[in-house]
Structure formats: C-alpha cells, structure tokens
Amino acid sequence: MNFWEKLGKLDRRLVYSMVAVTVIIPLFVPLNLPIDITPEARELYNSVEALPDSSVVLLTFDYYASTVAETEPMSIAVLNQLFRKNMKVITMTTIPLGGPTIAQNVMKMMAAKYGKKYGIDYVNLGYKANYTAVLKGMGVSIASIYPTDQNGTPLSQLPLMQHVKNYGDISYIFVVADNAILDYWISIVNAQYQIPIGAGTTAVMAPKYYSYVQSGQMTGLLGGMKGAAEYELLVHAKGKAVLGMNSQSMVHLLIIAFVILGNVALFTSRRKVHANV
C-alpha cells in the first residue's frame, strides 16, 4: 500500500483532530490575518450611518441559539453603531427557541455599555408566533400585534412607543436571521411599505441574498462570521467574530489541502485500477 492509498483510508477521527487543533491554536496565538471589507458590508454600514441621529431602527433577532457564533456578533456590532448614534432601537424576534433570551441578554449588555434606558432608548417587544401575520399586522399597528413588550408592560406605558405606531414611524430595519424569514421582511415589509432593509445572515444563506442587494431591495448584507467580523471592524469594536476569523482562515487552508490531497489520492488509485485491468 503506497502513500496515496494510505491517505485514502485515513481514519476520519484524525481529520477531526487536525481540524480541532487548527481551530484552537489561532485562539491562543492570534495571527492577525487581514480581513478585507466587502462592498455589501460597507454599503450596509453607510446606509445605517446616513440615518439622522435619534432615528428609530427596528433590529430583529430572528435566529436560533445554534447559530449565535455567526449571528450574535452581528447584533452586537450593529448595536454599537446604533447606540453610538443615539438611535432609538426596537427589537423583536419571530424565533421561539432561543430568540427571546438572546435578544434580552444582548440588549441588556449593550444598554449597560452605553448607559441606555429601557422604554426611552430601546424597547424589546419579544416573541410573537405566526410571523406572516406579525409582519403584515405591524404595518397597520404595532400595538395590535404586540399589546405588551417582552416583560408584559403595555406599549402605551413606554415613552419610546408613544411615537412609533407602525412601519411608517421606523426609519430602518436591520434583520439578523438564520432562516427564510428574511424573504418575508423583503417581500412583505420592504416591497409593500418601502422601508429600507439591511441584513446579516448565516453563511449558508448569504449567496441567495446577494441578489437582493444587487436589485436594490436590501441596502447591504453581512454573510456569516466573515460578515460579522467586517462589521466589527467598521464600527471599531473588535469582538468574537474578528477573533474567530483567524481560526476560520486556517481551517479553510486545511480543507483546501484535504480537497487537493483527496482528489490526487482518488485519481492515483483509479489509474492503478485501470493499469491492472
């Protein structure tokens, strides 16, 4: 058995171990690899930056706990930008499993960082079932869909919500999602109410949504951990995404090496089979 045949029969656990080591080492020894900013991320940043101070922005936490590695850094990065510009932030989620808790924890952390007051600077509407009805209904009246906020306080008792009745009072919607709910934000809210939308999605979803940036239906897009890292750099608040990109780049190099070696091993073994026939 030659080298290529042995490679073809490599124990998969050895491959897993190599991936694990490649992920862990850059966390301890930061490589500070460069991260370039894509035009879609820069356009997203610029569109939020162009909003007047104190504008009302709706930020959604439409993601499950399983994808926080990609999505949570996006929420944190954009909140850095929004709170620095003294924007009024309304948050909500259409995801039952994890969404409400993540939104609560992130908002609490970021509000404490910037000294923002609940009810005046930001409001967390929480979770509501049946996203199609929620998205359509909020165009008529937010209070009819969310009579109370996440804590059960009637919206009429929250100063921020005195001036926000429906989408017409919202300047921008920033969707952070790990599922097809973004389709509905585009097709229902952007198309029917003409509210500008920007989004951060998981990497799996990103290729689909670039076409919506090209068509002008979204102002910009963040794709996966790379997109989150780009936004952290744009808002000058490096976080877990920038830290993780070192590991990401190294693992990609490893996978490229695996793909090349695997293909060479396959072709070599095929040639041997043909030679023996």
Partner 1 sequence: MPMFNWTIIGTWVAGFFTLSLFSFLYKDNPFYRFAEHVFAGLSAGYYIGLIYHSVILAQLVQPIEEHWAAAATGPDVGHHIMKVAFLLFAGFMGVLMFARFFPKVSWISRYPLAFVMGNTAGIELMSRLHGMVLPQMRATFVDLNASFGNVVLNLIILVGVLTTLIYFYFSKEHKGVLGVTARVGIWFIMIAFGAHFGYTVMARVSLLIGQVNFIFIDWLKIIS
Which burial class, exposed, middle or buried, applies to 171 when counting CB atoms under 10 A from its CB (0-12, 13-18, 19+)? middle
Residue 100's nearest CA partner among 65, 148, 76 is: 65
Among 5, 6, 16, 180, binds partner 1 (CB under 8 A): 16
Give whichever of 70 and 232 is closer to partner 1, judged by the CB atom.
70
Chain centroid, CA 248 distance in Å: 16
Q: How many chain residues touch partner 1 (CB under 8 A)?
A: 51
Instruction: State the binding string over 25-64 for partner 1 (x if CB under 8 A, else -).
Output: --xx------------------------------------
The CB-of-5 to partner 1 minimum distance in angstroms stands at: 24
Residue nearer to partner 1 on the CB measure, 19 or 51? 19
Q: Distance between CA atoms of 53 and 179, rounded to whole angstroms?
A: 30
Q: Applying CB under 8 A, which of residues 34, 52, 115, 216 lies at the interface with partner 1?
A: 216
CA-CA distance, 40 to 204, in Å (whole number)?
Answer: 16
Residue 43 or 183: the one with the smaller Cβ distance to partner 1 is: 183
Closest by CA to 8, choosing from 274, 277, 271, is: 271
CA angle 263, 266, 267 (to 5 degrees): 90
Q: Of 196, 200, 220, 224, which one interacts with partner 1 (CB under 8 A)?
A: 224
Tokens of 159: 């100063």
CA neighbor of 186 nearest in space, from 76, 45, 60: 60
Which residues, numbered 166-205, are part of the site for partner 1 (CB under 8 A)? 183-184, 186-188, 190-192, 202-204
Q: Which is nearer to partner 1, 119 or 139 (CB)?
A: 139
**Site of tokens 């936004």:** 231
Residues that bind partner 1 (CB under 8 A): 13, 16, 19-20, 23-24, 27-28, 66-70, 96-97, 127-129, 132, 136, 183-184, 186-188, 190-192, 202-204, 206-207, 211-212, 214-217, 223-226, 240, 243-244, 247-248, 251-252, 255
